[in-house]
């Protein structure tokens, strides 16, 4: 059971977290989130991490063992998460951003080389490219899926000769168009790194995120579809990438010889703790149910909100959306958010400033470009509570508030 965040904590966009992480605004005790059906309840939170007694027991076992920093729990979690995704290897890290950074280093990104990515994501997506020495090159998004538009990527590739990779962002729980992106990567001999930090269990034609590129990165921030408290992981079928990443997150040490002080490359301490690994193993067992509940909540909203003047989420045929966020679009965002607040429903905007418009990106070469789909999304998106801890009363409260806004009684 977690304590509610303070107001100041809610203003911190989660990296700390990593990747397309965001400050899902409240990390609330599920017991305090709404009420059982028919009971008077409090506010409906935008997020409510559910840790569970099994995770607590596993952490206690780790603490009693004395092996806290890294060890068998982390190795087991890596193997289990790789198997869940269908990948050959996994390398656990301290958070989603360090996973992205380490993966880019492992893929061989050199100083100044360009990586195409989305401007409509949490800033950590692009930050990781810069931290690895590369240059983020922004391409516009598809206005329906909010993920990289392959035609926009193709236009960028005709204009630049410094691009060595593509980092599509699987936003809100929906995978990007990996078939088209993969074809472009093959044509131009580019690596593909999935930013899957919001896409645990998302699929395209039965293939899970984490297996759709050369490597993929996930975040385990508390508000994600599963959590380790803080944490991240890299998945890949390439042994060279996995070995380089494993060395990079462990001070550049020789892989497979933890006792060695032979540091063969420059690296960081981005290791996952054994406590986090223990939580992750327990959470991974519950991930299918978490995702089922998210999809059930989303389906309820789809049905109940269908006749209102808003755009609800979409998923192309063959895609399995896991609804890290349930994000609608409306020209009346601020007023609708205010109405929901009056009804005790938390909402959030992910993201109100595209990365290329962030002050820290004023000097990035593609920051001056107009990316109309990303900029329009930033003005109109609004996320509603969709987490697994929602009660039937909570869902009804959300729907009633939205309906009352457009059709007041």
More confident residue, 20 or 386: 386
Nearest C-alpha neighbor of 402 from the set 350, 342, 348: 342
Cα–chain center distance at 74: 20
- What pLDDT is attached to residue 238? 98
- CATH class of the domain comprising 53-280: alpha beta
- For every residue of 78-144, DSSP letters joined together read HHHHHHHHT-SEEEEESSHHHHHHHHHHHTT--TT-EEEE-SSS-THHHHHHHHTT-EEEE-PBPTT
Q: Name the token pair of 126.
A: 């692009």
Place 262 in a pLDDT band, splitting at 50, 70 and 90. Answer: confident
Residue pair 203/320 in contact by the 8 Å Cβ criterion: yes
Contact partners, residue 9, CB within 8 Å, separation at least 6: 27
**Number of C-alpha atoms within 13 angstroms, CB side, residue 149?**
18
- What pLDDT is attached to residue 261? 83
Residue pair 107/241 in contact by the 8 Å Cβ criterion: yes
- What pLDDT is attached to residue 158? 96
Please give the model's pTM, rounded to 2 decimal places: 0.90
- What pLDDT is attached to residue 48? 94
- What pLDDT is attached to residue 23? 40
- In this prediction, what percent of the chain has a pLDDT beyond 90? 82
138 pLDDT more than 80: yes
Any idea which of 16-20, 172-176, 364-368, 396-400 has the lowest mean pLDDT?
16-20
Residue pair 221/279 in contact by the 8 Å Cβ criterion: no
pLDDT in tens, 188-208: 999 999 999 999 999 999 999
257 pLDDT more than 70: no
Q: Name the token pair of 393.
A: 């009363």
358 pLDDT more than 80: yes
Nearest C-alpha neighbor of 228 from the set 173, 272, 169: 272
Where in the chain are the domains? 53-280
Report, as an integer, the average pLDDT of 84-110.
Answer: 98
Residue pair 166/139 in contact by the 8 Å Cβ criterion: no
- In this prediction, what percent of the chain has a pLDDT beyond 70? 88
pLDDT in tens, 52-66: 999 999 999 999 999
- For every residue of 202-263, DSSP letters joined together read -EETTEETTSSSSEEEEE--TTSSS--SS-EEEEES-HHHHHHHHHHTBTTBPTT-TT---B
Place 255 in a pLDDT band, splitting at 50, 70 and 90. Answer: confident
Dist. CA 300–CA 385, nearest whole Å: 12
- What pLDDT is attached to residue 146? 98
Any idea which of 113-117, 261-265, 300-304, 399-403 has the lowest mean pLDDT?
261-265
Task: Indicate the SS3 state at residue 328.
Answer: strand
CA angle, 2 then 326 then 288, to 5°:
65
pLDDT in tens, 33-45: 333 333 334 599 9
Dist. CA 216–CA 197, nearest whole Å: 9
Helix or strand (DSSP H, E) at 338? helix 333-342
Q: Name the token pair of 294.
A: 């998210």
Dist. CA 180–CA 114, nearest whole Å: 19
- For every residue of 157-212, DSSP letters joined together read HHH-S-EEEEE-B-GGG----HHHHHHHHHHHT-EEEEE-TT-TT-EETTEETTSS
**Other CB atoms closer than 10 Å to residue 266's CB: what's the count?**
10
């Amino acid at each position: 059971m977690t304590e509610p965040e303070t107001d100041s904590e809610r203003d911190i966009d989660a990296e700390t977290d990593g990747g397309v992480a965001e400050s899902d605004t409240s990390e609330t005790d599920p017991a305090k989130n709404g009420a059982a059906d028919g009971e008077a309840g409090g506010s409906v939170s935008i997020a409510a991490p559910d840790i569970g007694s099994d995770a607590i027991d596993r952490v206690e076992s780790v603490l009693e063992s004395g092996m806290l920093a890294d060890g068998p729990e982390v190795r087991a979690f890596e193997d289990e998460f790789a198997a869940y995704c269908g990948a050959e290897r996994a390398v656990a890290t301290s958070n989603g951003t360090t996973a992205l950074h380490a993966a880019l280093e492992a893929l061989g990104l050199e100083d100044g080389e360009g990586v195409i990515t989305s401007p409509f994501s949490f800033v950590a997506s692009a930050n990781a490219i810069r931290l690895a020495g590369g240059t983020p090159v922004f391409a516009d998004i598809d206005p329906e899926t909010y993920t990289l538009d392959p035609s926009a990527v193709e236009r960028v590739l005709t204009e630049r000769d410094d691009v060595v990779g593509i980092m599509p962002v699987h936003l809100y729980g929906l995978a990007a168009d990996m078939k088209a992106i993969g074809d472009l990567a093959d044509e131009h001999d580019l690596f593909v790194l999935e930013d899957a930090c919001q896409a645990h269990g998302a699929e395209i034609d039965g293939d899970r995120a984490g297996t759709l590129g050369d490597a993929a990165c996930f975040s385990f921030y508390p508000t994600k579809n599963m959590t380790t408290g803080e944490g991240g992981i890299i998945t890949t079928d390439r042994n060279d990438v996995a070995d380089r990443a494993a060395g990079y997150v462990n001070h550049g040490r020789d892989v497979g010889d933890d006792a060695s002080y032979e540091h063969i490359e420059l690296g960081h301490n981005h290791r996952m703790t054994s406590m986090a690994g223990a939580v992750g193993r327990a959470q991974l067992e519950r991930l299918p149910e978490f995702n089922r509940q998210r999809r059930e909540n989303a389906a309820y909203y789809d049905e109940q909100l269908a006749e209102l003047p808003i755009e609800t989420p979409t998923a192309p045929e063959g895609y399995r959306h896991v609804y890290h966020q349930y994000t609608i679009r409306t020209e009346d965002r601020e007023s609708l958010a205010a109405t929901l607040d009056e009804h005790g429903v938390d909402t959030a905007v992910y993201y109100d400033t595209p990365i290329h418009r962030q002050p820290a990106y004023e000097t990035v070469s593609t920051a001056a470009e107009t990316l109309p789909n990303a900029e329009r999304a930033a003005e109109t998106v609004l996320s509603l509570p969709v987490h697994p801890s929602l009660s039937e009363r909570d869902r009804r409260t959300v729907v009633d508030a939205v309906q009352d806004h457009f059709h007041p009684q």
